[in-house]
Amino acid sequence: MEPQAILEIVRKLYPNATTTTDAVNRLFAVLKEHYGLEPRQLMHADSICSDDVNAMEYPPEARAMLGPFGMGGLNGFPFTGLTGMGAFAHHVPEDGAVFVYYAPHIGVTKESKVGEINRVGQSRPSACCGAAKAALGKLLNDEIQPGHVTELDYQQNTIEQIFLRRQDRIRQAAIPMMEATEVMYEAITERIDLLAEKTSYPCRHLILMGGILVNGDHDVGSFNCCRRFDVIDLESRATRNMLEFYENLP
């Protein structure tokens, strides 16, 4: 199947999605034009799921930045916390900027199945995000107990609690897996903002990009549905929304 045909399938679910390579190129173009920033001046952190597919489908263009520092655990929640955010913040070049990309992920197969992908060497699709799908299954079977968070499965239990708090929305949705992904996006955004507020950065700008990371089958690659592209001036604390510039590039 042609890449354009796959993109059309993804866009039926996520209208403004682009390939992740296109997303990185758009990011670089906007930062160069409006801030004169080159990729090598960007200290990059990502908060995406630990799933091996995200490593295999990582856009090579993103390697032009410094990093990445991996903040994400299961489904992209920034489990490295305040210490993680503080660590890479202090690795930024003096004339550079900190760039954080965060996203929960969701699979979409060539057959438009949502929440699954075909992985290398497997004849049947499997769950993606597996953690989200497992937590959703428990939610729909009424198996999540409020406040139940264990040391042995801390990240997964945290996701379960996030879903439990928004269970009405998820249960009523036409596609619960998509709604669960939205709930996750909001929870990650809220946490990233809190971590950013409590961190000091030895540079002028903090760049936050949030989205939904859509994984295709193994021979297809990944897509980014960009939801937020903010540049925060750390001196004035003014936030500039760059999404329009990002989306209007050819």
Closer CB to Zn ion, residue 199 or residue 215? 215
Helices then strands (H, E): number in the chain? 9, 10
Q: What are the residue ranges of helices labelled H in the chain?
A: 3-13, 20-35, 52-56, 81-89, 130-140, 154-165, 167-172, 176-197, 243-248
Distance spanning both ends of the chain, measured CA to CA: 24
Q: Is the peptide bond before 226 cis (omega within 30 degrees of 0)?
A: no
- For CA atoms 28, 93, 197, 20, the dihedral sign is positive
Closer CB to Zn ion, residue 39 or residue 107? 107
What is the smallest separation between the CB atom of 50 and Zn ion, expressed in angstroms? 7
What is the smallest separation between the CB atom of 98 and Zn ion, expressed in angstroms? 24
* DSSP of 135-150: HHHHHHTT-PPTT---
Closer CB to Zn ion, residue 41 or residue 215? 215
Closer CB to Zn ion, residue 131 or residue 206? 131
One-letter amino acid identity for 168? D
What is the smallest separation between the CB atom of 190 and Zn ion, expressed in angstroms? 19
What is the smallest separation between the CB atom of 31 and Zn ion, expressed in angstroms? 28
What is the smallest separation between the CB atom of 70 and Zn ion, expressed in angstroms? 13
- For CA atoms 90, 226, 7, 111, the dihedral sign is positive
Residues that bind Zn ion (CB under 5 A): 49, 51, 75, 129, 131
Closer CB to Zn ion, residue 51 or residue 96? 51
Cα–Cα distance, 108 to 129 (Å, whole number): 10
What is the smallest separation between the CB atom of 229 and Zn ion, expressed in angstroms? 23
Closer CB to Zn ion, residue 84 or residue 115? 115
